[in-house]
Amino acid sequence: MILPTLSKGGTTTITGNIYGYIRVSARDQNEDRQLVALRGIPVPERNIFTDKQSGKDFNRPEYKKLVKKLKPDDLLYVKSIDRLGRSYTEIQNQWRILTKEKQVDIVVLDMPLLDTRRGKDLMGTFLSDIVLQVLSFVAENERTNIRQRQAEGIAAAKARGVRFGRPPRPLPEGYHSAYRRWKAGTITGSAAAKECGMPLSTFRYRAELYEKSLR
């Protein structure tokens, strides 16, 4: 396939295939925004690779398939730079692998300056590298701020008495009787736990919760 590309002097052509990569951080997140952007270029549907999982590392099946397919002079589109990874180091490393080792061009749709087809001379490469470093830093810094805000929000909620996690299961029938006899010393904790059909550690943990509820 012959694809148009941009150069400092005007329009030229390269021989290669056009690809798109999409990543959303969880299976319940929607990839439509990225998909619409790639289809608008357009990227052939068969050449769009989508991962629905965290970007914390590059053990992503669709991304791996994509990298294996990429050949020199191919062109890869991503919606934003953080689709390639979550940290400054990861983004920089993947950019190097794709552009230097795989020798493909990359276009970041949210940041037109990150288009390796533009300015392949020394000055163009220099400016592109600066933009990449700044955006990679901003992406990682924003994730750090998000984690901090989440941690502060959780801490504040806990201080207000909000409980997180699954609610405990209902106590089994006969628990109250076993608990009272255990507290009175007429049966052992192991015997009481056996009556209730639960491990001793679980019985003691539920006993603590039960005692708190009586206060």
Question: Which residues are catalytic, by number?
Answer: 25
Tokens of 81: 């730079």
State the Cα torsion 190-194-198-204 to the nearest 10°: -30
> 114-141 burial, b for 16+ CB within 10 Å, e for fewer?
bbbbbbeeeebeeebeebbeebbeebbe
- Token pair 């502060």 in the structure block, residue: 152
Question: Do residues 136 and 92 lie in contact, with contact meaning Cβ atoms separated by under 8 Å?
Answer: yes
Give phi and psi for 42, each to the nearest 5: -100, 150
Write the CA distances from 8 to 5, 25, 75, 127, integer angstroms: 10, 36, 17, 14
Q: Is the Cα dihedral 127, 130, 134, 135 positive or negative?
A: positive
Report how far residue 205's alpha carbon sits from residue 167's, in angstroms, rounded to the nearest whole number.
Answer: 14
Structure tokens that stand for 62 in this block:
């669709």
Other residues' Cβ atoms within 10 Å of the Cβ of residue 50: 17
